Amino acid sequence: MRSAHLQVSIISFFIEIKLAHLICNIKSTFVILDGMPKVTRVINVGKIKMGGESPIVIQSMTNTPTKDIRATVAQIKALESVGCELVRVAVPCLDSAKAISEIKKQINIPIEADIHFDYKLAVESIRHGADKIRINPGTLGGLDKIKHVVDVAKEYKIPIRVGLNSGSVEKDILKKHGGVTAEGLTESTERSVKILEDLGFYDICISVKCSNVPMTIETNLLLAKKFDYPIHIGITESGTIRSGSIKSAVRLGTLLHHGIGDTIRVSLTGDPVEEIYYCKQILSALDLRKFGVEVISCPTCARTEVDLIPIANEVEKQCAGINKHIKVAVMGCAVNGPGEASQSDIGIACGRGQGVLFKNGKVLKTVSENKMVDELMKEINKMAGGR
Ligand code: SF4
């Protein structure tokens, strides 16, 4: 009887929610049209493409000494295993540049060498197999040195990321704009990019970072209007995993929503492997890329009549290794539950001690609380291809 009552509530809500979703979808289309999606030019970074219609590349950066080949390879392999697609390594010395060739033999994703000040390190990194380098042309010590780096990049056919930050804006630009401003950062970037363009080099990616959130966003909006080069988005000094992931989600999410960003990095003070999880969550939340199983669950409230929190956590845990994108909803009651559950690939809308299982928008059956995880996993595994 209780089960029949639950199913009647679910069906009436089902119709209302379908209508609500239709309206929501129309609204979100307007938001996208209102933004400024931009098609950038495509550059090749090793075996991956960045820019244009290519998927937004997920990247991270190692925090091992690059010259410690063993430790660096181990960290890159850990990053690869969770979905990192491009890894950056700092090159503070010649031994680090030389290590790139051996590191490359043992990894499967492209490697970007991060260079500051010393053009020789850029040249050696390229010669030892870097798939991309990150420099600030203005700090390499003069045009002849920049030209040398550009000539080698051309010879090895690798792109250059022009990476600037608020601390590297030229004095005359600071004076003109009265300090660090979005316009000044943009002008500084134009100056750096022009140096490469004047040397006939166009395999460029741009990144500009500062710790001020609105300024970072405004600068990237200006850059996207001025250039068609791919843009790397990330933030400096984002913080620990707890605070940094939220700051990154706000800044990166805002830019991505405006169609800006061809590659992203969530910088966190912690294990770089964690960064990949947050990159994926941001892209997934904006429907820009899909990864594995996405578990949607309600926060629970006084209407919840099952112990929902461990159920949602257990389902998410058991789905961790599934690569196919499946949307799973674990919902606490008949108020919001049926809508979400029926809009997902697989879902459960709970009542007192039991729940109604949905698959592809249709009710499958009623299951008791103690069988929910098993029944959900049975259907998820079937959909994933019988893992
Ligand atoms: Fe409460 Fe139901 Fe919303 Fe969950 S879905 S938070 S139980 S109203």
pLDDT tops 50 at residue 22? no
Ligand 1 atom with the shortest distance to the CA of 304: 7
Q: What is the mean pLDDT of residues 175-185?
A: 94
C-alpha 304 to ligand 1 mean position (Å)? 6
Question: In this structure, are residues 89 and 111 in contact, taking their beta carbons and an 8 Å threshold?
Answer: yes
* Spatial distance between the Cα atoms of 290 and 94, rounded to a whole number of angstroms: 39
Least-confidence region, from 172-176, 214-218, 261-265, 374-378: 214-218
C-alpha 252 to ligand 1 mean position (Å)? 30
What Å distances lie between residue 145 and 152, 157, 195, 271, CA to CA?
A: 11, 18, 12, 35
pLDDT tens for 283-321 read 999 999 988 899 999 999 999 999 999 999 999 999 988
Question: 38: pLDDT confidence band, cut at 50, 70 and 90?
Answer: low
pLDDT tens for 216-229 read 889 999 999 999 99
Contacts of 235 (CB under 8 A, 6+ apart): 209, 211, 216, 247, 248, 251, 252, 267
The per-residue pLDDT for 28 is 33
C-alpha 355 to ligand 1 mean position (Å)? 13
279 touches ligand 1 (CB under 6 Å): no
* Spatial distance between the Cα atoms of 211 and 119, rounded to a whole number of angstroms: 26
Least-confidence region, from 126-130, 166-170, 272-276: 166-170
Question: 386: pLDDT confidence band, cut at 50, 70 and 90?
Answer: low
The per-residue pLDDT for 246 is 86
The per-residue pLDDT for 339 is 82
The per-residue pLDDT for 194 is 96
pLDDT tens for 248-262 read 888 899 999 989 999
Q: How many CA atoms lie within 13 A of 376 on its CB side?
A: 34
pTM over 0.75: yes
299 touches ligand 1 (CB under 6 Å): yes
The per-residue pLDDT for 39 is 84
Nearest to 132 by CA among 264, 60, 43, 58: 43
The per-residue pLDDT for 166 is 85
304 touches ligand 1 (CB under 6 Å): yes
Q: What is the mean pLDDT of residues 5-33?
A: 39
297 touches ligand 1 (CB under 6 Å): no
pLDDT tops 60 at residue 340? yes
301 touches ligand 1 (CB under 6 Å): yes
Question: 21: pLDDT confidence band, cut at 50, 70 and 90?
Answer: very low
The per-residue pLDDT for 334 is 78
Structure tokens at 350: 């709970």
Structure tokens at 308: 């929902």
Average pLDDT, the chain: 88
pLDDT tops 80 at residue 53? yes
Contacts of 269 (CB under 8 A, 6+ apart): 238, 239, 240, 241, 244
Ligand 1 atom with the shortest distance to the CA of 333: 2
What phi and psi values does residue 224 have, to the nearest 5 degrees? -65, -30
The per-residue pLDDT for 97 is 98
**Helices 372-384/308-318 angle, 10° precision:** 30
Q: What is the mean pLDDT of residues 36-40?
A: 70
Structure tokens at 160: 């250059």
**Helices 69-82/272-285 angle, 10° precision:** 20
The per-residue pLDDT for 26 is 32
355 touches ligand 1 (CB under 6 Å): no
Structure tokens at 333: 């009651």
The per-residue pLDDT for 18 is 41
The per-residue pLDDT for 293 is 92
pLDDT tens for 182-203 read 999 999 999 999 999 999 999 9
pLDDT tens for 204-217 read 999 998 877 788 88
C-alpha 312 to ligand 1 mean position (Å)? 13
pLDDT tops 90 at residue 35? no
